[in-house]
Amino acid sequence: EIVLTQSPGTLSLSPGERATLSCRASQSVSNSFLAWYQQKPGQAPRLLIYGASGRATGIPDRFSGSGSGTDFTLTISRLEPADFAVYYCQQYGSSPRTFGQGTKVEIK
Partner 1 sequence: QIQLLQSGAAVKKPGASVKVSCKASGYTFTAYAMHWVRQAPGQRPEWMGWSNAGNGKTEYSQKFQGRVTITRDTSATTAYMELSSLRSEDMAVYYCARARGGSGSYPFDYWGQGTLVTVSS
Strands (E), the chain: 4-7, 10-13, 19-25, 34-39, 46-50, 54-55, 63-68, 71-76, 86-91, 98-99, 103-107
Q: Which stretch binds partner 1 (CB under 8 A): 14-22, 29-37, 61-69, 74-82?
A: 29-37
Please tell me whether residue 46 binds partner 1 under the rule CB under 8 A. yes
Q: Which stretch binds partner 1 (CB under 8 A): 18-26, 38-46, 64-72, 76-84?
A: 38-46
Please tell me whether residue 50 binds partner 1 under the rule CB under 8 A. yes
What's the min distance (Å) between Cβ of 56 and partner 1? Answer: 6
Read off the DSSP letter of residue 107: E
